[in-house]
Amino acid sequence: MLIYLTIFLFGVWGKAPSNFFLHRDFQCRNLMVHHNSVRFIDFQGGRLGPLAYDLASLLLDPYAGLPLSVQDHLTVVYLEALQQEIPYNPDQFRREYVFLALQRNLQILGAFAFLSQVRQKPFFAQFLRPALVSLSGLLAKSEAAEYAGLRHLTTQSRQELEKRS
């Protein structure tokens, strides 16, 4: 099921305009403030891709733990700023954002599960619950209505994690 979802999400990625520079690891630990200016670090994995991917990476950043309401507000702020720079269909952007955020959220869950369970780095286990909560919030959006199986799997995963703690 997850393999099919990932293939579908990459298909959405492929339909989104992809001529924008992506940091690809855009999270709070890669933002530095130097002399009151924001600097970006660790962008050696950058490449061209869709605008919404880096926004999803930043807003879903497990180290920051932004509530869904703040994520939604910052998405609106981002879209307003984007419209000042280039014309971009806001409805199209929102659809792309949800699919790319789902993909990024699944990546976060996979990475932290691997690091905590396989690599025996318990520090990362604390971020599994917030990532599942974030995934649940994304799956509640109308754009994700067709992913009932993933919603069910997410609910089961959250319940299993609760039993273990």
* DSSP for 97-164, written as a single string: HHHHHHHHHHHHHHHHHIIIIIS--GGGGGGHHHHHHHHHHHHTSGGGTT-HHHHHHHHHHHHHHHHH
Q: Which residues of 60-76 are buried (b: 16+ CB within 10 A; e: fewer)?
A: bbbeeebeeeebeeebe
The predicted-structure confidence for 125-162, as pLDDT tens digits, reads as follows 999 999 999 999 999 999 999 999 999 999 999 999 89
Indicate the domain borders of the chain.
2-164
The confidence band for 14, taking pLDDT boundaries of 50, 70 and 90, is low
| Degrees, nearest 5: CA angle 118-28-141 | 80
Burial (Cβ within 10 Å: 0-12, 13-18, ≥19) of residue 94: middle
Q: What is the dihedral of CA 163, 153, 148, 95, to 10 degrees?
A: 100
The predicted-structure confidence for 32-51, as pLDDT tens digits, reads as follows 999 999 999 998 989 999 99
Q: Which residues of 148-159 are buried (b: 16+ CB within 10 A; e: fewer)?
A: eebbebbeebbe
The predicted-structure confidence for 63-119, as pLDDT tens digits, reads as follows 898 988 899 999 999 999 999 999 999 999 999 999 999 999 999 999 999 999 999
Beta-ladder partners of 85: none
Residue 17 has what pLDDT?
83
CATH superfamily of 2-164: Aminoglycoside phosphotransferase (APH), C-terminal lobe (3.90.1200.10)
Residue 7 has what pLDDT?
46
The pair of structure tokens assigned to 34 is 């130097």
Residue 77 has what pLDDT?
97
Using CA atoms, how far apart are residues 59 and 27, in angstroms rounded to an integer? 8
Q: What percent of the chain has pLDDT over 90?
A: 76
